Amino acid sequence: MKIKAEQLAQQLKKQLLPVYLLHGDEPLLIQECADHVRRACKAQGFGDRDIIHVENNFTGEELYASNQSISLFADRKIIELRMPTGKPGTAGSKALVDYVANPSPDNVLLIICGKIESASQRSKWFKTVEAAGASVQLWPINARDLPRWIEQRLRALGMQANPDAIELLADRVEGNLLAASQEIHKLQLYAEQETITVETVMAAVADSARYNIFGLIDSCLEGDTLSALKMLQGLKSEGNQVFAILPLFTRELRNLYACAQQIGDGHGIDRVLQNQRIWDSRKRITKIALQKLSLSRITRLIQLANDIDQSAKGMSKANSWDLLEQLITLMTGRELAIAL
Does residue 83 have a pLDDT over 70? yes
Q: How confident is the model at residue 337 (pLDDT cuts 50, 70, 90)?
A: low
Give CA–CA dist 175/33, Å, rounded.
19
3-state secondary structure the chain: CEECHHHHHHHHHHCCCCEEEEEECCHHHHHHHHHHHHHHHHHCCEEEEEEEECCCCCCCHHHHHHHHCCCCCCCEEEEEEEECCCCCHHHHHHHHHHHHHCCCCCEEEEEEECCCCHHHHCCHHHHHHHHHCEEEEECCCCCCCHHHHHHHHHHHCCCCECHHHHHHHHHHHCCCHHHHHHHHHHHHHHHCCCCECHHHHHHHHHCCCCCCHHHHHHHHHHCCHHHHHHHHHHHHHCCCCHHHHHHHHHHHHHHHHHHHHHHHCCCCHHHHHHHCCCCHHHHHHHHHHHHHCCHHHHHHHHHHHHHHHHHHCCCCCCCHHHHHHHHHHHHCCCCHHHHC
**CA nearest neighbour of 52 among 100, 111, 94:** 111
For the structural domain made of 2-138, what CATH number should be given? 3.40.50.300
Cα dihedral sign for 43, 49, 53, 57?
A: negative
What integer pLDDT is reported at residue 72 of this predicted model? 55
What integer pLDDT is reported at residue 209 of this predicted model? 46
Give CA–CA dist 180/287, Å, rounded.
24
What integer pLDDT is reported at residue 70 of this predicted model? 64
The fold adopted by the segment(s) 146-206 is: Helicase, Ruva Protein; domain 3 (1.10.8)
Does residue 237 have a pLDDT over 50? yes
Give CA–CA dist 225/36, Å, rounded.
39
Q: How confident is the model at residue 302 (pLDDT cuts 50, 70, 90)?
A: very high
Give CA–CA dist 49/177, Å, rounded.
27
What integer pLDDT is reported at residue 182 of this predicted model? 82
What integer pLDDT is reported at residue 49 of this predicted model? 84
**In this predicted structure, which of 2-6, 41-45, 57-61 has the lowest mean pLDDT?**
57-61
Interval 126-182: pLDDT, tens:
999 999 999 999 988 888 889 999 999 898 888 888 888 888 888 777 677 887 888
Do 213-333 and 2-138 have the same topology in CATH? Answer: no
What integer pLDDT is reported at residue 1 of this predicted model? 92
Interval 1-34: pLDDT, tens:
999 988 999 999 999 999 999 999 888 899 899 9
pTM exceeding 0.75: no
Interval 186-223: pLDDT, tens:
887 776 667 888 877 776 765 554 457 778 999 999 99
What integer pLDDT is reported at residue 210 of this predicted model? 44
The fold adopted by the segment(s) 213-333 is: Zinc Finger, Delta Prime; domain 3 (1.20.272)
What integer pLDDT is reported at residue 202 of this predicted model? 72
Domains of the chain by residue range: 2-138, 146-206, 213-333
What integer pLDDT is reported at residue 192 of this predicted model? 65
